Amino acid sequence: MMSIPDFFDNYHLPDGVHECTIEEIEQRFLFSSKRIEQWKLFKQMLNRLIGLGLKPSAILIDGSFVTGRLEPGDVDFAALIPPETVLEAMRTIDDHDKAGIQLFMNPENQLALRNLFGAHLLLADNEYTLDLWADFFRTGGQNGKLRERDEERDPEWVIVPSAKGILKVYLDGGEV
């Protein structure tokens, strides 16, 4: 039985943080060649983080990728990477990989990372910050409003809800 609920409006997940596995996301959301390619790039990014010693404890998956949109723009996600994980990674690897860690951990590099991996990475250094990202993803955060329907990529019948669902994956084991 899948823990990802059905869309409540044929387009959005019901409000809430829905825990699931990487495999469940793949079964549910890899229904077009564009999505398969985006997911492949996202997993390359996630595996590079893991290879650098920056394995997130948990990730939140959001954005058009977890909607009914046929061709989402990218995979939006937040990753919980505690400071002690970063410090340990910096102590145990070579200078080349240290530069990689700095690339991922610097918020100013988000555009470059998106261009390389087709994914938008937001960082959380503790559970509280991850919860703030979850609230922002679900409700629009302080704006209190989700992004409007994209007239070019969303069907005309889509109505933006006041809140939507996102996915949470706890990462156990090695590569994803």
59-73: pLDDT as tens digits: 999 999 999 999 999
Banded model confidence at residue 94, pLDDT cuts 50, 70, 90 = confident
Kindly state whether residue 130 falls inside one of the protein's structural domains: yes
What pLDDT score does 44 carry?
A: 96
Q: How would you class 135 by CB atoms within 10 Å of its CB: exposed for 0-12, middle for 13-18, buried for 19 or more?
A: middle
Burial class (CB in 10 A: 0-12, 13-18, 19+), 139: middle
In a domain, 4, yes or no: no
Domain span at 134: 16-144+161-170
In a domain, 154, yes or no: no
- Does 77 reside within a domain? yes
Residue 29: inside a domain: yes
- Give first-to-last CA distance, the chain, whole Å: 21
pTM: 0.92
Q: Is the pLDDT of residue 172 over 50?
A: yes
For the chain, what is the domain count? 1
Kindly state whether residue 113 falls inside one of the protein's structural domains. yes
